Amino acid sequence: MEGKREREPVYILKYLLFIILFIFAYLCTLLLGAGLFSSALPAMSAYTPAVTPTQTERPIVVLDAGHGGIDSGCTSEGVEEKYLNLSLARYVAEYLILYDVDVIMTRTEDVSLHEAGASSRKRSDVQTRVKIAREAGNPLFVSIHMNSFPAEKFRGFQVFYSRNNPKSEALALQIENLVDTKLPEAKCRNSKSAGSNVFVLDRLECQAVLIECGFLSNDQDRKLLTNGAYQRKLAFVIARAIAIQAYS
């Protein structure tokens, strides 16, 4: 009993010390929260890197669905080129977006792009497409068309490239090689440099190609190109090739 009485003051002292420490800690928390010690803390901006890392520029692709509106393009067995061009271009756009590529479409509906009152609607239409590509900065320009020829036997997929930019050929070969490998049924032909008669390619300085996806005048090609599943497969392969070139 004597020993217990001697230890009681020690317990009381410990108890008081604990309460004092608790109150001190509580006050410190309040003061810090009020920002009174903020001058002693480094500012948050001090932790922000002085130089923001350079953002990788997102590639821009201008997708040009050929013809439209009053201009059907080539036709065969009731199939009009303008609709197939638009359908394929839409699929290519959807896939390109998945590759983090910004896409600008020259048309998203069945319309001609000529200006009202233009003396030559065809020339005005193509000039509008060139203008859209130029205003996009330095995009990759990909025009989508279907071919036709009086002799039914000709068929196959072919890319034409602009002579104005050396990268155009690389883009064409990227598309050609991937289509040739992944879609042998497309019967890929060798890519060719386009002459000045391909107005839209001749007027552009950026990487620019025009794809003739197949011959509507050929039964086999026409059946493939009007098939939704084939369109999607072809669009995916084209989009993948464009994305590879865009990020190279």
Kindly list the residues in this chain that would bind Zn ion in the complex (CB under 5 A). 66, 73, 145
Quote the CA–CA distance of 246 and 61 in Å, as a whole number. 8
DSSP β-bridge partners for residue 143:
64, 210
Quote the CA–CA distance of 57 and 158 in Å, as a whole number. 30
Q: For 40, which DSSP code? A: G
Helix (H) / strand (E) element for 63: namely strand 60-65
Max Cα distance, the chain (Å): 122
CA 237 to chain centre: 14
Nearer to Zn ion (CB atom), residue 107 or residue 145 = 145
Comparing CA positions, the residue from 205, 213, 237, 248 lying closest to residue 62 is 205
Residue 114 Cβ vs Zn ion, minimum distance, rounded to whole Å: 15
What's the sign of the alpha-carbon dihedral 234, 240, 246, 248? negative
Quote the CA–CA distance of 64 and 126 in Å, as a whole number. 10
Nearer to Zn ion (CB atom), residue 101 or residue 132 = 132
CB atoms within 10 A of CB 220: 14
Nearer to Zn ion (CB atom), residue 59 or residue 106 = 106
Nearer to Zn ion (CB atom), residue 29 or residue 120 = 120
Nearer to Zn ion (CB atom), residue 71 or residue 102 = 71
What's the sign of the alpha-carbon dihedral 172, 177, 179, 185? positive
What's the sign of the alpha-carbon dihedral 130, 132, 137, 138? negative
Nearer to Zn ion (CB atom), residue 102 or residue 202 = 202
Residue 96 Cβ vs Zn ion, minimum distance, rounded to whole Å: 21
Give the CB-nearest residue to Zn ion. 145
